[in-house]
Amino acid sequence: MRVVDTGAAGFLGSHLTERLVNEGHKVIGLDNFITGSADNIAHLAGNKNFKFIEQDVTEYIYLPGEIDWVFHLACPASPEDYLKFPIKTLKVGSLGSHKTLGLAKAKGAGFLLASSSEVYGDPKEHPQTEKYWGHVNTVGPRGVYDETKRFGEALTMAYHRSHKVDTRIARIFNSYGPRMKAGDGRVVPNFVNQAISGLDLTVYGDGSQTRSFCYVSDTVDGLYRLMRSGYCNPVNIGNPKEMTINEFAGKVLEVTGSKSRLINSPLPVNDPKVRQPDITLAREKLGWEPKISLDEGLKKTIEYFT
Ligand code: UDP
């Protein structure tokens, strides 16, 4: 297959690119390096199955030749990043989804939108199934991310219904692993780097909020299976093993062997209190479920940051 992936130099995008190249596909990676890094794809330079184009995907995308699949992953993903780039975040899910869907339509290609568990907002249903419509504060600071993903989903379904584009929507829950940026502000790189440097672990709020962490190779496998499936409605891709942030901090201290302490700082506005994917649909439709345990995934992540 000849494949385009946006956000190719990002955390998730670079792992997807690698997986696609390893599967024998020809990949054209696009990124504008707002939050991605050339280092993430430096090892693919010179690979005959990989071509990189520096491109802002909110602008018209010109690519000659046939394309079979378009994966639209580009977007700042860390709360700190999307608060730093609120308008670019809104543009990449709206204008960027428009351009990449337009590309898929013109080429008769399959299209996959990397959506997010953030479409569920601070959820009132727990765990979250794909049937849940969500609880989002549109005008809060996180609204820029939540709404860019929600608009992207709406546009994807409109292209599916009106233009018969063969679309997919992956609702990705907290993913982690090597190539996250040390300073991107998300809990995994923060805690791991604090623990290995002997700094206090910064628990936001009282640490009773929950998350469910999925190792990046599992996430990428879910995306790859979803693209190959014939399923066009949203599918949760995440690890259903839920824990509090305090429990997660304890796990990081255990795996790193660090003696760091936990300190509390203010909870960000509209920080979801719980988050856990129901992955019944992914199991049924994709034959997918996560394989990598938190211990194993954390060890690989710690190795990367050490
Ligand atoms: N968090 C924390 N300390 C940190 C960074 C994050 O306690 O140094 C919390 C954050 O408030 C949230 C959870 O960890 O409740 C996950 O945050 P992250 O930024 O990784 O992603 P989110 O799930 O909020 O999108």
* Interatomic CA distance for residues 128 and 117, integer angstroms: 8
| 257-296 b/e (C-beta count within 10 Å ≥ 16 → b) | ebebebeeeebbebebebbbbbbebbeeebebebebebee
User: What is the dihedral sign for C-alpha 173, 174, 175, 180?
Assistant: positive
pLDDT at 106: 98
Rounded distance from Cα 211 to ligand 1 centre (Å): 8
DSSP E strand boundaries for 12-136: 26-31, 50-54, 69-72, 110-116
pLDDT at 183: 87
The catalytically annotated residue of 82, 120, 145, 224 is 145
Among protein residues, the one with the nearest Cα to ligand 1's atom 14 is: 187
Q: Domains in the chain, start-ordered, CATH in brackets? A: 2-176+214-238+277-291 (3.40.50.720)
Distance of CA 16 to CAs 6, 25, 284, Å? 10, 11, 22
Atom of ligand 1 nearest to the CA of 190: 8
Residue segments in the chain with a per-residue pLDDT below the cut of 70: none
pLDDT at 216: 98
Could you tell me if 33 and 75 are in contact, meaning their C-beta atoms sit under 8 angstroms apart?
no
Ligand 1 pocket, mutate which of 12, 118, 187, 208 (most atoms under 8 A from CB)? 187
Among protein residues, the one with the nearest Cα to ligand 1's atom 18 is: 186
pLDDT at 168: 98
Catalytic, 145? Answer: yes
Atom of ligand 1 nearest to the CA of 79: 19
Number of neighbouring beta carbons within 10 Å of residue 43: 11
User: pTM for the whole thing?
Assistant: 0.98
pLDDT at 251: 98
Ligand 1 pocket, mutate which of 192, 245, 247 (most atoms under 8 A from CB)? 245
Pocket around ligand 1: residues whose beta carbon is below 6 Å from it?
78-79, 174, 186-187, 190, 202-204, 209, 211, 245, 267-268, 271
* Interatomic CA distance for residues 148 and 135, integer angstroms: 15
The set of residues, in sequence order, having a beta carbon less than 8 Å from that of 55 and lying 6+ positions away, is: 30, 31, 32, 61
